[in-house]
Structure 1
């Protein structure tokens, strides 16, 4: 099957991954209302088609936090991504480099910072949660700085993990010990290609960045137990100052969904924010990113770059987010599906599709530069 869209890659990922991993990528929290809203509200944005304009030269290049990129798209942090393909984060960072866009390594990646840095030839971003063990955070921040990461993507919308029913049904969460392991093993046997390439030859499966604190208990149930016990619910805006004292680069706060929080982020010293509802994986029933973005843009009033994620499956969706006021868009599930479907080559192809779709959308709305994309190309927001 030749993938012609992100949805095609989703179907390939469904066929190739064990159920517990596909559901982890694909699912949201509770009834998945916000997950559905993210896509539906983007699709409701109608664009004004314009004609008889010179659109022979389309420029997608942009500059974010002092770095130049080929287009206003980045790869968002994805937990456990290295379980979707052999040493998956290393494949993803190479694809991002080839496309000239930023890659963000998750705290809970399979490949540790050092391994990803060795696979890369340019700097990448690093994502971090607020964790109770400050010594652990300090060490991770020092490692990321030593590896040359210029931007810290600090995720703030997960003081406690949301309940994701699909993970319980699939056996990824809530099925501890031998029973859970056997259940996942049985699912892996139904995907022999994955079992051979990733399950066997993709080792170690130790979640490299948190392996030092997990110790010998490196099973998936140990990882989820660690998350539940070590994410910090007491985090406040004052903690941004502590992060700043430990981090020499830029700080991008991810997980902003309310205008008041956007203002507080600016006052706390953030260099940029990501408007995000965690892909519908945290508070079910929350606003979609498309609906949350415009009032946040108005509240911040150009004081810092604003990126967005949530529901983006095409270059057309990227243009819609830019029209709503974002300066950049992070792709999450889109690259996770492609990675599972065909590794680095598939991510590169997916990004080529997004680039081509952006160029067509810009041409048909009469825009040739990112600076031309704004509310005036939107016909209505349903």
Structure 2
């Protein structure tokens, strides 16, 4: 039999401790976000459909993006036991400098269309977290203003080689003069990918007021107020706008880009250079032989060639082929700190987040980007503790198995890289 008694009033009062209410609506909604997917849900509620889908979408059937995320989900970890994991160090060395976390912010185009603080929010959050920030050629904040926001931090610049080479050369010179330490030479955009969400929305730069966009704006007046009451969008490389994103990209990008362009840019650039958009082993080996500082394994977030290789799955083969001398950076599909831990274990030297950063930006501006970084940091640290490793350098391929839901079929006489 259970003995029952009347509770003492003091015991009831002890149980009835109410949490202090949070009256700041932005802080309240961000605190409730426990994952990047939570931030995505908030971002979708607060952002017009065309702008949200520009960020959230990918090319064609969006198969590459789905596969990239599934590849991270299909990871099996192998933890050690009985090892002291009370002190976790997440710092890592990349491209001649230190990052407090094993990820940086990837270059994103048209960022102030997502939320008016744009790159300033990203660069400020990166400075606070002591991680690198990458500005896109198609960014909506100037090279100099990003540098002013993050004067003591690591600023990287992502370069598209334009049809008008003088535009690209001028951007390289400006980034060097502003003290950017790394250049991302991007090679996967000879033309724009077929991003059908943008086409269906009629998404243009700048946004055009139509009956559809007006109806979409009614429940989100704050976005349009911000857009209409802040300085007009400015682009580092586009002298004119007006048209869909694909049309703008096609008018600027040059499908004749080649290794000679890489040679010219390397001669101009005084800092580290990484080639972004590499998607096979053979090209990685070629670039290693040419002596580039790093390769970024990336399919552009699935936004260019759909059904392209998944960078995370490509990583072990590339690491085996190029050895340890060349640094490897991985992006596309990262939505959890555990994804980053898995990539580092399988041979990556660093990772980049794009959509995850933009979801935070759309959810809450600078504070939302801070929340993105905080979520990923806590997930990284918890995963490392559960694996019972103390430093990023202790992660090895033995900690991870890549499970697969599909296998490549080798054709007769074909070497599968």
Q: TM over 0.5: same fold?
A: yes
Return the offset for 1:178: 10
**Which residue of 2, 7, 10 maps to 2:40?**
10
- Residue number in structure 1 paired with 2:63: 33
Are the equivalent residues in 2 in contact too, given 1:74–1:101 (CA < 8 A)? yes
Instruction: Output the CA distance in 1 between the equivalents of 2:212 and 2:156.
Output: 35
- Residue number in structure 2 paired with 1:274: 296
For residue 82 of structure 1, give the secondary structure of its aligned residue in structure 2.
helix
Where does 1:272-351 land on structure 2 (aligned, <5 Å)? 272-351=294-373
Are the equivalent residues in 2 in contact too, given 1:103–1:124 (CA < 8 A)? yes
Task: Specify whether residues 178 and 309 from structure 1 end up closer, same or farther in structure 2 by C-alpha distance, changes over 3 A only.
Answer: closer
Task: Specify whether residues 295 and 346 from structure 1 end up closer, same or farther in structure 2 by C-alpha distance, changes over 3 A only.
Answer: same
- Residue number in structure 2 paired with 1:352: 374
Instruction: Output the CA distance in 2 between the equivalents of 1:331 and 1:358.
Output: 14
**Which residue of 117, 120, 124 maps to 1:87?**
117
Where does 1:155-304 land on structure 2 (aligned, <5 Å)? 155-172=186-203, 183-197=212-226, 199-207=227-235, 209-211=236-238, 213-214=239-240, 218-219=241-242, 221=243, 224-304=246-326
1:48 aligns with 2:75: no
Task: Specify whether residues 116 and 360 from structure 1 end up closer, same or farther in structure 2 by C-alpha distance, changes over 3 A only.
Answer: same
Are the equivalent residues in 2 in contact too, given 1:189–1:195 (CA < 8 A)? no
Instruction: Output the CA distance in 2 between the equivalents of 1:177 and 1:246.
Output: 33
Q: After superposing the two structures, state which structure 1 stretch, 225-234 or 94-103, moved more.
A: 225-234
1:363 aligns with 2:400: no
Are the equivalent residues in 1 in contact too, given 2:71–2:402 (CA < 8 A)? no
Are the equivalent residues in 2 in contact too, given 1:188–1:195 (CA < 8 A)? yes
For residue 270 of structure 2, give the secondary structure of its aligned residue in structure 1.
coil
Larger radius of gyration: 2
Are the equivalent residues in 2 in contact too, given 1:28–1:281 (CA < 8 A)? yes
Root mean square deviation, CA, Å: 1.8
For residue 28 of structure 1, give the secondary structure of its aligned residue in structure 2.
coil
Return the offset for 1:347: 0.9
Q: After superposing the two structures, state which structure 1 stretch, 285-294 or 5-14, moved more.
A: 285-294
- Residue number in structure 2 paired with 1:68: 98
Instruction: Output the CA distance in 2 between the equivalents of 1:34 and 1:227.
Output: 20
Return the offset for 1:181: 5.5
For residue 238 of structure 1, give the secondary structure of its aligned residue in structure 2.
helix
Aligned length: 373
Instruction: Output the CA distance in 1 between the equivalents of 2:180 and 2:200.
Output: 37
Task: Specify whether residues 237 and 357 from structure 1 end up closer, same or farther in structure 2 by C-alpha distance, changes over 3 A only.
Answer: same
Task: Specify whether residues 177 and 251 from structure 1 end up closer, same or farther in structure 2 by C-alpha distance, changes over 3 A only.
Answer: closer
Return the offset for 1:226: 3.4
Instruction: Output the CA distance in 2 between the equivalents of 1:48 and 1:190.
Output: 47
1:58 aligns with 2:88: yes
Are the equivalent residues in 2 in contact too, given 1:86–1:201 (CA < 8 A)? no
Return the offset for 1:186: 4.5
Spell out, residue by residue over 1:210-268, the C-alpha distance to the aligned partner (whole angstroms, 9 max, x if none).
Answer: 24x32xxx33x176433212211111122211111221111111111100010112223
Are the equivalent residues in 1 in contact too, given 2:191–2:253 (CA < 8 A)? yes
Q: TM-score, normalised by structure 1?
A: 0.93
Instruction: Output the CA distance in 2 between the equivalents of 1:366 and 1:51.
Output: 7
For residue 121 of structure 1, give the secondary structure of its aligned residue in structure 2.
coil
Are the equivalent residues in 2 in contact too, given 1:241–1:268 (CA < 8 A)? no
Instruction: Output the CA distance in 1 between the equivalents of 2:151 and 2:367.
Output: 17
Q: After superposing the two structures, state which structure 1 stretch, 27-36 or 346-355, moved more.
A: 346-355
